[in-house]
Amino acid sequence: MEALKKQLVQVQQYVSQLKSSCLARQRWMPCCQISTRPGWGGAFSLSCSAPGNVVVKEYYAELPIAVKVTGSYHDIGLFAADIANLSRIVTLNNISLEPVKDRDGILTMNCTAKTFRYLDQEEIEQQQSATAKKGAKP
């Protein structure tokens, strides 16, 4: 039994560490934390709009951010790789690639970057209250 208790403590510490490293605690996280690399083509540009409507789930919230990246196919791949290497969980959704008129080899990628954050205790209680009220409708 003692070995299981120690293992439970280790698992709880591991989960706590993952929560703090993978999901943001802030209500808003800037999406454009990717700095431009010196080796990227001169045509590379990145723009992010303000976050969209927050989607609240049971214990976390999704923060969608519209992102537009213009550059070579390789530059866009490097951008996606940098997103994948962030310490926070960020997903790229609804990706579209289009060639830029009159610029050979240059593409524009439009997508929605989603970051995630944990709800604080007050938000969780509000969410549970709202869910309970929906279930209690006459």
Model pLDDT for residues 33-87, shown as the tens digit of each residue: 554 555 555 557 777 776 778 888 877 888 888 888 898 998 899 888 888 888 7
36 compared with 126, residue with greater pLDDT:
126
Q: What per-residue confidence (pLDDT) applies to 30?
A: 46
Percent of the chain with pLDDT over 90: 14
- Provide the terminal-to-terminal Cα distance of the chain, rounded to the nearest Å: 48
Q: What per-residue confidence (pLDDT) applies to 111?
A: 92
- Whole-angstrom distance, CA of residue 17 vs CA of residue 21: 6
Q: What is the mean pLDDT of the chain?
A: 78
